[in-house]
Amino acid sequence: MEQLVERVKAILLTPQTEWPVIAREPGETSVLFTRYVAILALIPALAGFIGMTLIGRYVPFFSGLMSAVVGYVMTFVVVFVVALIVDALAPTFGAQKNFPNALKLTVYSYTPGWLAGIFLLIPGLSFLSILGLYGLYLLWLGLPPLMQAPRDKALPYAAAVVVCAVIIAIVIGAIQAAIFLSR
């Protein structure tokens, strides 16, 4: 747990020095998912569930629970798919294909979004989850050291990844809404 806290602090506060450290690490999918994503992705899932069902009482308990579970599981799918996109787009922007590095980049770039998910706990503060957009900056900073992207192409590369990630989020959100609103 201490390693998790140290990594979170480092990626948020000193990303320019942390990305090169991350680039030298192995980047095993199972380790990243079980020791990082599984823990941090619980924050928005649990906070959103509590905020919607227990505090705000906007959603019935069972529906809120199912939505939280599905959202939590979909987080893993989204991270993996976005990492595939980062890797697939690499040659287009003069970068090197390297799926382990693409996965590390994606996982650690989502950190601010997961942490900002705590604001879902209190419905009136949920607008503060916009602070998770700091992850876009982390993505841009991480592209050169992890994907060997030329600095002048890192911004359009990051923008392309973000557009794809937004499209994925919209599609998944629409699917979830169709499932849970049809009840």
pLDDT band at 180 (very low <50, low <70, confident <90, very high): low
Predicted pLDDT of residue 176: 78
Domain ranges of the chain: 2-181
Choice between 89 and 58, residue whose per-residue pLDDT is larger: 89
The token pair at 89 is 């787009």
pLDDT band at 92 (very low <50, low <70, confident <90, very high): very high
Lowest mean pLDDT among 12-16, 92-96, 169-173: 169-173
Are residues 165 and 106 in contact, defined by beta-carbon separation less than 8 angstroms? no
The string of pLDDT tens digits covering residues 55-74 is 987 888 988 898 899 999 99
Predicted pLDDT of residue 182: 60
Q: What percent of the chain has pLDDT over 70?
A: 98
For residue 163, pLDDT over 90 is answered with: yes
Q: What are phi and psi of 148, to 5 degrees?
A: 55, 35
Scanning the chain, the segments in alpha helix (DSSP H) are: 2-13, 15-23, 29-32, 38-40, 42-49, 61-89, 99-109, 111-116, 134-147, 151-181
The set of residues, in sequence order, having a beta carbon less than 8 Å from that of 9 and lying 6+ positions away, is none
